[in-house]
Amino acid sequence: MKRRPTGLAARLMTAQVLVIGIGAVTLVITAALVAPMLFSEHLARTGEDSPEVRRHAEEAFASAFAVSVTIGVIASLTAAGLVSWFLVRRIAKPVGELADAADEVAAGNYDVRVPTGGFGSEISRLSTAFEHMGQRLATMDATRVSMLADLAHELRTPLATLEAYIDGMEDAVVVTDSESFAVMRDQVTRMHRLATDLKEVAAAEEHSLKLHKVTVLPVSLALDAVAAATPFYQAKIVGLDIGDLADCPPISADTQRVQQVLANLLDNCLRHTPAHGTVRVSVRNESPTSIEIKVTDDGDGLTADQLNQIFERFYRADPARTPGNGGGSGLGLTIARAIAEEHGGTLTASSAGAGRGSSFSLRLPVGD
């Protein structure tokens, strides 16, 4: 049977007892060796030469010395023992509670009681760090469960389509031609895009996106995003205009990630703006410490409920839109908002209502 290791409190108390015991023995030995010699020396200096008087004086000293040392040692040992016991309890108790909380977290229970205080700031710091770790693990676990459920839901349609076409080909119901293979390839592309976007959103929500910041002008970011999106807008006959471009100060940003945000916003606006509609991009100084890049369309618009949900994973304002018919994976805006927050900024949406267009505002801090 494996022997249970000695607890922290027992080890600390044993160490304290050893220290106190060694101190007490050292005190007694030192006093026993030094005190009689000093007493005899001082007695001789008095000039007293009567053997009887000297004997009685030495006996009186020895008796008083023994009683005094005994009482002093007992009192000091008692006081030191009580203080040691108090200190050991103050140190060992929160450590034991943290160990119990760690066992609970390891078992999957993140709602645990963590000691809020202790003997010294180090215990308090440890408790605070452990509490933050538990909250982070709970968030990550909830994200994982929710993401797996969302992924399972999103994969049903492409898998069902692929299964139907394969069964149809086997039963000679579906013609094996380029059109059928194109449909199947679209579904595979959809699943590939889901996998890529899921990896991005997982990294974003766990704050593990790697940003490579450089100093860049916001106007340059906006112009580059417009230039990249222009061919897609022309194909759908939707206007893409440049609005006001203020002389904004440079910002510190990962240009590729910010371009990814703007590409998602422009793609979203394109999908929800009918032919001959217009999307406008503008840049302005929102405050001395932040700039705003705004993308506005005159398309479908958003209701109040949709504004509250549009940045959630796999949410689509129009459920009829899917990756196969012009819709996205439902993760683009989620990723875009996470990237904005990683830069210390925000991404918000506004709309006057259904059919009245919508606006997306990317706000980023100036400087570092």
Per-residue confidence (pLDDT) for residue 147, from 0 to 100: 66
Confidence of residue 236 (pLDDT cuts 50, 70, 90): very high
Per-residue confidence (pLDDT) for residue 62, from 0 to 100: 75
Averaging pLDDT over each range in 30-44, 61-75, 171-185, 215-229, which range is the top one?
215-229
Q: Is residue 39 a part of any domain in this protein? A: yes
**Residue 38 reports pLDDT greater than 70:** yes
**Residue 283 reports pLDDT greater than 90:** yes
Classified as helix, coil or strand, 303 is coil
Q: Is residue 131 a part of any domain in this protein? A: no
Confidence of residue 278 (pLDDT cuts 50, 70, 90): very high
Over residues 206-227, the pLDDT tens digits come to: 666 778 889 999 999 999 999 9
**Residue 141 reports pLDDT greater than 70:** yes
**Residue 43 reports pLDDT greater than 90:** no
Distance CA(344)–CA(123), nearest Å, equals 31
Check which CATH number belongs to the domain holding 178 and give it.
1.10.287
Check if the beta carbon of residue 118 is closer than 8 Å to that of residue 124: yes
Q: Which domain holds residue 114?
A: 8-119
Per-residue confidence (pLDDT) for residue 322, from 0 to 100: 44
Q: Is residue 126 a part of any domain in this protein? A: no
Check which CATH number belongs to the domain holding 233 and give it.
3.30.565.10
Per-residue confidence (pLDDT) for residue 9, from 0 to 100: 62
Q: Do 101 and 170 reside in the same domain of the chain? A: no
Q: Do 230 and 247 reside in the same domain of the chain? A: yes
Instruction: State what percent of residues in the chain have pLDDT above 70.
Output: 82
Q: Do 242 and 323 reside in the same domain of the chain? A: yes
Q: Do 221 and 200 reside in the same domain of the chain? A: no
Q: Do 295 and 262 reside in the same domain of the chain? A: yes
Per-residue confidence (pLDDT) for residue 1, from 0 to 100: 46
Q: Do 110 and 16 reside in the same domain of the chain? A: yes
Domains identified in the chain, total number: 3
Per-residue confidence (pLDDT) for residue 292, from 0 to 100: 94
Distance CA(278)–CA(359), nearest Å, equals 12
What are the residues facing 335 on neighbouring strands?
none
Q: Is residue 274 a part of any domain in this protein? A: yes
Q: Is residue 135 a part of any domain in this protein? A: no
- Of 175, 205, 235, at which residue does a domain stop? 205
**Residue 300 reports pLDDT greater than 90:** no
Q: Do 260 and 356 reside in the same domain of the chain? A: yes
- Of 205, 231, 253, at which residue does a domain stop? 205
Q: Do 259 and 307 reside in the same domain of the chain? A: yes
Largest CA distance in the chain: 134
Q: Do 93 and 150 reside in the same domain of the chain? A: no
Average pLDDT, the chain: 78
Q: Do 358 and 221 reside in the same domain of the chain? A: yes
Please state the pTM of the whole predicted model.
0.55
Q: Is residue 42 a part of any domain in this protein? A: yes
Q: Is residue 99 a part of any domain in this protein? A: yes
Percent helix / strand / coil, the chain, rounded to 5: 60, 10, 25
Per-residue confidence (pLDDT) for residue 120, from 0 to 100: 59
Distance CA(65)–CA(33), nearest Å, equals 12
Distance CA(237)–CA(83), nearest Å, equals 83
Q: Do 331 and 225 reside in the same domain of the chain? A: yes
Q: Do 332 and 238 reside in the same domain of the chain? A: yes
Q: Is residue 127 a part of any domain in this protein? A: no
- Of 61, 87, 119, at which residue does a domain stop? 119
